Amino acid sequence: MSNERRGGSRRESGDGQQPRRPARSGNPSGKQSGKQGGRQGQNFRGGSSAKSRAQANQPRRRPAKPTEPARDVHVEDGVRLQKVLAQAGLGSRRASEELIANGHVEVDGQLVTELGVRVDPATAVIHVDGLRIQLDQAKVTIALNKPLGVVSTMDDPKGRPTVADLIKNREERLFHVGRLDADSEGLLLLTNDGELANRLSHPKYQIAKTYLVTVEGEIYPRVGRELLKGVELEDGIAKMDAVHVLQQIDGFAMLEVVLHEGRNRIVRRMFDAVGHPVTRLVRTRIGPIPLGDLKSGRTRVLGRTELGTLMNAVDL
């Protein structure tokens, strides 16, 4: 039985007891249902540039382009635009015609309002309300909640469990975008879209990642400031974009941190550098894509809106 479930938009889809350290909650979102004792709620955030990177977690529309002369995007032997939209899951042909007529559709950067336009689905770049539409139905991107102990590789010479074992029911040849250490958990994206994968991994696009982290020791404000200002590592200075202390109890602290760095074991190394070793690390978001309530070891296909926001985040 498949371990995948579909998600996204259209692809439907005290009291005398001894204190203890923050629990390994089954809800890695970082949200607390109520106060559980200890120090909570400290927020630290970087400057304006760091704030803008942290805001990459939210869906965004493409920036408006300077006005340029209109170009003819009509392809004489192509497919009618409304048919292409309907096949991509935007609704019926009639609904797609209304999208075109009401000025919601761009083809190759040009606003199209005429219903007779034909396009080549293999080469056309189509946006609806600013969101890129994936026309190649062979391309798929999935979210995986990587369990503890699974290595982020498709094959392991040591025989350890790999992410490939968790997607062996998929027919597509998928590859993972970035990595999570074997001793870390949470969101990992896999795709067969090479351009999307390359851009998500490229430092130019500064895709923010959010983590729920449990560390040893109490986090004082100076520690948060130091993480935002930057700590010296063996491969250079590393900075976090935001640090939020969720809970502190019995010598442990639980935090939510945001950073765009993609270096190996960067979160663990940064906390080691400030004297707070990590005991648990769960990635809960990559750019606009949340882990949500996806169970450990399970996958879900990104829906049309999710995929569109992800593609927008890397200027596709």
pLDDT attached to residue 65: 54
**Total domain count for the chain?**
2
pLDDT digits (tens, 9 = 90+) for 105-133: 999 989 999 988 999 988 889 999 988 88
Regarding whether 270 and 179 lie in a shared domain, the answer is yes
Are 172 and 257 part of one and the same domain? yes
159 and 268, same domain (yes or no): yes
The residue assigned the tokens 């400290």 is 42
Asked if residue 155 belongs to a domain, the reply is yes
Of residues 112 and 68, more confidence is placed in 112
Same domain for 112 and 215, yes or no, is: no
Residue 110 and residue 85 share a domain: yes
From the CB of residue 126, how many other CB atoms can be counted at a distance below 10 Å?
Answer: 22
Q: CA angle at residue 90 from 84 to 94, to 5 degrees?
A: 75
Asked if residue 201 and residue 106 are part of one domain, the reply reads no
Q: What is the pLDDT of residue 69?
A: 58
pTM of the model: 0.77
Q: Are residues 246 and 195 in the same domain?
A: yes
- The set of catalytic residues is 181
Q: What average pLDDT score do residues 260-271 get? A: 91
Residue 69 inside a domain? The answer is: no
Q: Convert the pLDDT of each residue in 132-158 to its tens digit.
A: 888 888 899 999 999 999 999 888 898
**What is the CATH number for 150?**
3.30.2350.10
Q: Tell me, yes or no, whether 169 lies in a domain.
A: yes
The answer to whether residue 28 sits within a structural domain is no
Strands (E), the chain: 42-45, 79-80, 105-107, 110-111, 118-119, 126-128, 131-132, 141-146, 175-177, 185-191, 209-216, 231-233, 236-238, 242-249, 252-259, 278-286, 289-290, 299-301
Residue 96 is part of which domain span? 79-123
Strands 131-132 and 126-128: antiparallel
Report the range of poorest mean pLDDT among 50-54, 91-95, 183-187: 50-54
**What integer best gives the mean pLDDT of the chain?**
82
Q: CA 220 to CA 130: how far, in whole Å?
A: 42
Structure confidence at residue 103 (pLDDT): 93
Q: How many other CB atoms are found less than 10 A from the CB of residue 184?
A: 22
Same domain, 187 and 315: yes
Predicted confidence band at 236 (pLDDT cuts at 50, 70, 90)?
very high
Least confident of 41-45, 146-150, 245-249: 41-45
Judge whether 241 lies within some domain.
Answer: yes
Question: Residue 134: what pLDDT?
Answer: 86
Residue 68 has pLDDT above 50, yes or no: yes
CB 259 within 8 A of CB 241: yes
Task: Please indicate, yes or no, if residue 32 is contained in any of the structural domains.
Answer: no
For residues 142 and 167, is the Cβ–Cβ distance under 8 A? yes
CB-based contact 307:12 (threshold 8 Å): no
